[in-house]
């Protein structure tokens, strides 16, 4: 199937979360989409050396922002399409296949960014929360887009909100979907953007406990 599949470059910025990252790499290897690559950009003090088929790693010798690491990964990507593959989240085996097919179809309508506007998150205690954003928005980890879009609008060099700024700059080109269970995001003490129990409970418009 790889001869007819476009190459999808998954990008994973990481720092000091090797256990999570290993799980994300395993999920990448298990994907039903064959023509893929994973670009890992790491600025950890202890380098996360990855050696695996279809996986490439780039070490950054200084601590930098998530936005910069995303830009470096996009620059290194050789695929036509780029998909975010955060190091601490959980992915079903058909995530790439599902999202890429949606994006290819959306391109015929002038939409060059795809993702989910609602998605489930799981806490360290096992509780699940459903995040629901406006239909024209996309949760950062679910972003999937044509590389040409990134070339014209690189990520700002921020640790928080770089993905939001990216999609807001290209709002007309975004197609978002409701949660379908193909991504489960983790809420934990090492999240770049902290989400405490109090925060979730105080934002009922966007967050609802489901389990």
Whether the per-residue pLDDT at 4 is higher than 90: the answer is no
- DSSP assignments along 43-80, one per residue: --SS-----BTTEEEEE-SS---HHHHHHHHHHH--SS
Give the least confident one: 116-120, 167-171, 182-186: 167-171
pTM: 0.94
Residue 2, pLDDT score: 57
Task: Report, as an integer, the average pLDDT of 109-134.
Answer: 95
């Amino acid at each position: 199937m790889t001869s007819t599949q476009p190459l999808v470059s998954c990008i994973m910025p990481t720092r000091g979360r090797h256990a999570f990252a290993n799980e994300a790499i395993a999920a990448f290897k298990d994907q039903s989409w064959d023509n893929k690559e994973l670009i890992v950009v790491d600025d950890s003090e202890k380098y996360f050396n990855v050696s695996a088929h279809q996986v490439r790693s780039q070490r950054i010798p200084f601590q930098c922002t998530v936005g910069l690491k995303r830009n470096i990964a996009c620059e290194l990507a050789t695929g036509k399409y780029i998909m975010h593959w955060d190091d601490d989240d959980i992915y079903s085996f058909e995530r790439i296949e599902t999202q890429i097919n949606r994006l290819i179809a959306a391109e015929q309508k002038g939409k060059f960014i795809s993702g989910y506007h609602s998605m489930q998150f799981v806490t360290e205690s096992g509780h699940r929360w459903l995040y629901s954003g406006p239909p024209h928005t996309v949760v950062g980890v679910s972003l999937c887009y044509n590389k040409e879009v990134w070339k014209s609008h690189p990520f700002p060099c921020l640790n928080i909100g770089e993905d939001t700024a990216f999609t807001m700059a290209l709002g007309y080109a975004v197609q978002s979907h409701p949660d379908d269970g193909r991504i489960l995001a983790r809420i934990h003490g090492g999240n770049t953007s902290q989400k405490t129990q109090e925060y979730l409970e105080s934002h009922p418009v966007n967050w609802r406990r489901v389990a």
